[in-house]
């Protein structure tokens, strides 16, 4: 006798066990997440097998936890070869049960975090709530703070009041030689930020941020490497806009090229950020501020084509979504970087870099070449400090050398 769980899932035997009553709602939940029919059927059947296994061991619904899923997979491994995606399917099931309140909160595993991790979490909250820094910036800051606390306190008690200048200097001396210049400079920036935070908390009274050594650097940074206008046109023309993924990638590349947004700004764009009537795009910048940018006609057309004929159905408010289940927003700037890298490879373009930032540099260079002022470029790019925009005014000596007129009379 067959038992219909979902309009696309039929079981050959009646479901049993503590999860039998929840299989239909589980099927409905993962169906709206964009999983294909095969994955939907597989997930529900694994849930049914897991429920039967729980019944055989006398486990009630109130007692289910993640550890039972782990033990079930071990059981499967002893009797037959499990599929590689079984673990993910069970993880989705456990998450669903928790979200629905089937598994009570007290049954969820309690994770004891260390003092260092608690300190890091409090610093994260400070950066997010007080400094209003972008999520991607916070992600880059946290590992350095975690490493600093480990270097100073090890696994022992975290006593921030005991920090002194020697601790700061020693940490930089140990870490800096292991890092690339850009990473080392970021580390010192993070360290100053953290030490200002510790002083803000009242744990220290001295300005230890001033004790952070300066990493050696050149005074004239190299000119940013931007993708050329011709390469951008060739790249955009190479995208296959007949497919849903192609429409998404084309819209992403066009937003990068025309508006010069950072990867994080594109990734975290939401549907409500697009004002179709006013022809504007509201962007949350690196510093957490909102800026309004005009929406060029070609960018608006590309976004509309993707939203109408390429964007999967999803409860997410993000503009750009993953193309495969689990259908959610792109996970971060690295996901957008992958879109750019694959597009460049398909088009056979030898661009200055494989990252998304080259479009930002390319736009600034084109604006400068067409007579835009530094303040105009700064406004478009969302720079908080004029010095950041000044790097685009540096002279490319190599390019000028090729244009130099020969010395009268030739070489001697």
State the pLDDT at residue 219: 42
Find tokens 């039929």 and name the residue: 10
Q: How much is the pLDDT for 318?
A: 92
- The span from the CA of 225 to the CA of 72, in Å, is 53
Helix (H, G, I), strand (E, B) or coil at 280: strand
The model carries a pTM of 0.52
What token pair was written down for 408? 């009268």
3-state class (DSSP) for residue 293 = strand
Question: What is each CA distance from 22 to 3, 85, 103, 200, 299, in whole angstroms?
Answer: 14, 21, 12, 50, 44
Residue 145 CB: number of other CB atoms within 10 A?
22
pLDDT of residue 240: 94
Residues 222 and 361: their CA atoms lie apart, in Å, by: 12
pLDDT of 59 reads 87
What pLDDT is attached to residue 98?
85
Q: Cα(208)–Cα(165) distance, rounded to whole angstroms?
A: 6
Q: Which residues pair with 274 in a beta bridge?
A: 281
Give me the pLDDT at residue 228, please: 87
| Sign (positive or negative) of CA dihedral 181, 398, 369, 281 | negative
Distance, first Cα to last Cα, the chain? 99
Write the CB contacts of 131 (distance below 8 Å, at least 6 apart in sequence).
288
pLDDT along the chain (412 residues), means of 10: 63 83 84 75 86 89 83 78 74 86 61 79 88 84 92 89 91 86 89 94 89 67 70 94 94 92 89 92 79 90 94 90 84 85 92 82 73 62 55 48 53 47
* H-run or E-run covering 218: none
pLDDT for res 385: 54
In angstroms, the CA 343 to CA 346 distance is: 5
pLDDT per residue over 325-383, tens digit each?
778 888 778 888 889 999 999 999 988 778 888 888 778 777 766 666 656 666 666 65
- Which pLDDT score, from 0 to 100, does residue 395 have? 42
| Residue 217, helix vs strand vs coil | coil
pLDDT at 144: 93
Look at residue 397 in the predicted model and tell me its pLDDT. 45
User: What's the count of helices (H) and strands (E) in the chain, helices before strands?
Assistant: 17, 5
- Cα→Cα distances 231→163, 359, 381, Å: 51, 10, 21
Partnered with residue 284 across adjacent β-strands are 290
| Interacting residues of 82 by C-beta distance below 8 A, sequence separation 6+ | 73, 76
Residues forming the active site: 262, 286, 357, 360, 383, 392
In our burial notation (b when 16+ CB lie closer than 10 A, e otherwise), range 151-175 reads: ebbeeeebebeebeeeebeebbeeb
């Amino acid at each position: 006798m067959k038992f219909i769980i979902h309009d696309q899932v039929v079981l050959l035997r009646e479901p049993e066990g503590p999860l039998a009553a929840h299989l239909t709602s589980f099927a409905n939940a993962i169906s709206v997440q964009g999983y294909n029919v095969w994955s939907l059927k597989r997930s529900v059947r694994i849930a049914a097998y897991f429920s039967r296994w729980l019944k055989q061991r006398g486990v009630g619904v109130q007692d289910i936890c993640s550890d039972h899923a782990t033990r079930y997979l071990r059981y499967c491994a002893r009797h037959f070869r499990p599929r590689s995606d079984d673990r993910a399917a069970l993880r989705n099931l456990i998450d669903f049960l928790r979200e629905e309140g089937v598994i009570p909160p007290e049954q969820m595993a309690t994770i004891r975090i260390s003092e260092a991790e608690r300190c890091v979490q409090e610093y994260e909250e400070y950066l997010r709530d007080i400094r209003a820094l972008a999520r991607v910036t916070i992600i880059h800051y946290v590992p350095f703070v975690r490493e600093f606390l480990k270097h100073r306190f090890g696994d022992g008690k975290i006593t921030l009041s005991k920090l002194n200048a020697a601790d700061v200097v020693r940490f930089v001396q140990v870490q800096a030689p292991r890092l690339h210049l850009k990473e080392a400079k970021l580390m010192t920036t993070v360290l100053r930020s953290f030490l200002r935070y510790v002083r803000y908390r009242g744990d220290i009274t001295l300005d230890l941020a001033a004790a952070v050594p300066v990493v050696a650097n050149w005074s004239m940074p190299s000119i940013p490497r931007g993708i050329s206008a011709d390469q951008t046109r060739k790249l955009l023309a190479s995208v296959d806009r007949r497919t849903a993924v192609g429409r998404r990638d084309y819209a992403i590349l066009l937003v990068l090229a025309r508006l010069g947004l950072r990867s994080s700004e594109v990734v975290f764009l939401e549907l409500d950020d697009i004002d179709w009537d006013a022809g504007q795009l509201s962007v949350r910048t690196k510093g957490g501020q909102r800026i309004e940018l005009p929406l060029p006609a070609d960018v608006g057309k590309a976004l509309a084509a993707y939203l109408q004929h390429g964007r999967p159905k999803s409860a997410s408010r993000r503009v750009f979504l993953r193309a495969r289940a689990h259908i959610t927003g792109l996970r971060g700037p690295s996901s957008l970087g992958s879109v750019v890298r694959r597009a460049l490879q398909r088009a056979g373009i030898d661009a200055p870099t494989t990252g998304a930032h080259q479009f930002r540099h390319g736009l600034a260079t084109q604006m400068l070449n067409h007579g835009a002022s530094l303040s105009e470029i700064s406004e478009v790019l969302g720079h908080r400090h004029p010095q950041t925009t000044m790097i685009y005014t540096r002279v490319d000596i190599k390019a000028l050398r090729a244009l130099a007129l020969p010395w009268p009379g030739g070489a001697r």
